[in-house]
Amino acid sequence: MNKKEIAEIKKQFTPVNCTITRICGCYVDAEKNKKTKIKEAFLSLPEEEMFKYFDIFKKTMSGRLGKNLMNLDFPLSQEKEGGTQEFLMRIRASKLKNDELLDELYDKVIENYDYHENYYIVLIHAVYDIPGKASDGTEMHDASEEIYEHILCSICPVNLSKAGLIYDVAENNIKDRIRDWVVSRPETGFLFPVFNDRSTDIHGTLYFNKNIKNIHPDFIENVLGAPIPRIPGNEINVFSDFIMDNFEGNTTFNFAESLVESLQEVREQKKDSPEMVTVSCDEMEQIFEYCGVPDEKLSDFKENWEMYFSNEPVALDNIHNSKTAKIVTPDAAICIQPDKIALIELKEINGVPSLVIPVNGELKINGMEVELK
C-alpha cells in the first residue's frame, strides 16, 4: 500500500464515512489472562466512544512507510489450509461473529505478543464500497464496481492514570483524583487484506508498529506468518557496514559528502511519488560510481548488495536523514542540512586535518552573538 491508498482507508474512520460493521475486543492483564471481552455492532456504540475508537484506528495506520508501517507479503505456504493467511481469511469471512475464531486469534496474540503490562486487543470488520474515479481523479460514488472487505487489529496498552488532585464540583472542594485504567493509543496492529491499486489484495498485510526498535518478531512470524522484515533502525548500520566492508580505502571525505548529496537528490526527485521512497540496487551502484568508487570495487556490486539487503530496494529514510547530516570527531560533533554539506571542507592546518566551515552572516555560541574579528 502507498500513502494515497492508506489515506483513502483512514478517511473511512469518521462518522460520515464509517464503513465499520462490527467491533470486538479482549482486555488482557499483565499475567496474560483474558479479563473481559466485547462484541457488538459498531454503530450501536455511543458517539463519544466511536470517536475515541476512530482515533485508535487512524493511529494504527499512521507513521512512516518502511518504518512504522510495513507491507508484508505472505509466503505461499501460509495461504494453504492451516496457514496464517487462510486463518485471517476465515476471520474476515465470519464478519467477527464466530467466537471460536476470535478466541483463537486472541490466544495467538497473547502467546506471541511481547508485552508485560495490561493491553487491549481491538478488532473491527469493515466493508468499503470503493468509488470509481473519473479521468480527472474525482470520485464517482455511483460508479462503484468492487467492495473492499477487511479487518483491522489494534493492540493498545492499558495504563493506570497519573495520581493528582481534582476540583470536585459537587462538593466544591479539592480532593484526590480516582485513578483509572486508561486505554492508550496503539503500539502494534495490522490491516488485512491490503488495499493495493485501490483493490483487495489477499496476499499481504499492512503491519503497524509504533516502536521501531522492537518490531515484535514473534508476533509477525506466528500471528501473521510473514517473513520478519529488516529492522528499520538497524538499516543505517547495515548500510555503513556494507560501505566499509566493500569500499575500504575509498571512503574519503569527498566520497562521504558526495554520497549525502546524491541521496538528498534522490529524495528531491521522488518527493512527489505516492509510494515510499526507495533506492534500488541499480540506483545505488550508479550513486557509488558517481561518488568516485573505482570500477574494480563495483565489479561484484550486485552480489555484495544482495548479501546485505537481499537485493531488495531500501527505504531511503532508513539510510539517509533528510534533515541532518552529522559529522563526528572525538572532540566535536557538527550537524548540518544535507544540501549544505558541501560548505564544509577538510583542510590541513598546521599539519593537522581540520574541518573548515565558512561563516556567512552571524555566528552564535550558546545563543551569544560572536563578533567576526
Q: Where are the alpha helices (DSSP H) in 174-219?
A: 217-219
Same domain membership, residue 120 and residue 51: yes
Same domain membership, residue 281 and residue 204: no
Of 229, 254, 285, the residue that ends a domain is 229
Three cell numbers written together for 331: 572532540
Q: Which long-range contacts (CB under 8 A, 24 or more apart) does 42-51 make?
A: 42/18, 42/124, 43/18, 47/15, 50/15, 50/18, 51/15
Same domain membership, residue 116 and residue 81: yes
pLDDT of residue 339: 87
Q: Where are the alpha helices (DSSP H) in 223-294?
A: 235-246, 253-269, 281-290
Of 177, 211, 229, the residue that ends a domain is 229
What average pLDDT does this structure show over 16-28? 95
pLDDT of residue 373: 76
Same domain membership, residue 125 and residue 74: yes
Same domain membership, residue 84 and residue 28: yes
Distance from C-alpha of 144 to C-alpha of 149, rounded to nearest angstrom: 14
Instruction: Calculate the average pLDDT of the chain.
Output: 89
Strand residue runs (E) in 116-193: 119-130, 132-133, 139-140, 146-160, 165-168, 173-176, 181-183, 188-192
Question: How many structural domains are present in the chain?
Answer: 3
Same domain membership, residue 345 and residue 263: no
Question: Whose CA is closest to 64, among 117, 8, 3, 155?
Answer: 3
Distance from C-alpha of 217 to C-alpha of 362, rounded to nearest angstrom: 50
| Element holding 198 (H helix, E strand) | none
Does the pLDDT at position 135 exceed 80?
Answer: no
User: Which one-letter DSSP state was computed for residue 228?
Assistant: P
Same domain membership, residue 133 and residue 242: no
3-state SS class at 370: coil
3-state SS class at 295: helix
Q: List C-alpha distances in Å: 151 to 55, 123, 139.
A: 16, 7, 24
Same domain membership, residue 238 and residue 224: no
Q: Is the peptide bond before 193 cis (omega within 30 degrees of 0)?
A: yes
Same domain membership, residue 220 and residue 126: yes
| Element holding 355 (H helix, E strand) | strand 352-356
Does the pLDDT at position 269 exceed 70?
Answer: yes
Same domain membership, residue 239 and residue 225: no
What average pLDDT does this structure show over 279-288? 91
Quote the domain boundaries for residue 20.
Answer: 3-229
Paired strand residues for 129 = 147
Of 178, 205, 229, the residue that ends a domain is 229
Same domain membership, residue 243 and residue 203: no
* Tens digit of each residue's pLDDT (9 = 90 or more) over 51-95: 999 999 999 999 888 888 999 999 999 999 999 999 999 999 999
pLDDT of residue 186: 95
pLDDT of residue 233: 63
Same domain membership, residue 209 and residue 308: no
Distance from C-alpha of 160 to C-alpha of 163, rounded to nearest angstrom: 9
Confidence of residue 332 (pLDDT cuts 50, 70, 90): confident
| Element holding 327 (H helix, E strand) | strand 325-328
Question: Residue 200 burial by CB count (10 A; 0-12/13-18/19+): exposed, middle or buried?
Answer: middle
pTM of the model: 0.74
pLDDT of residue 162: 85
* Tens digit of each residue's pLDDT (9 = 90 or more) over 90-134: 999 999 999 999 999 999 999 999 999 999 999 999 999 998 876
Confidence of residue 6 (pLDDT cuts 50, 70, 90): very high
Pairwise pLDDT comparison (17 vs 177), residue with the higher score: 17
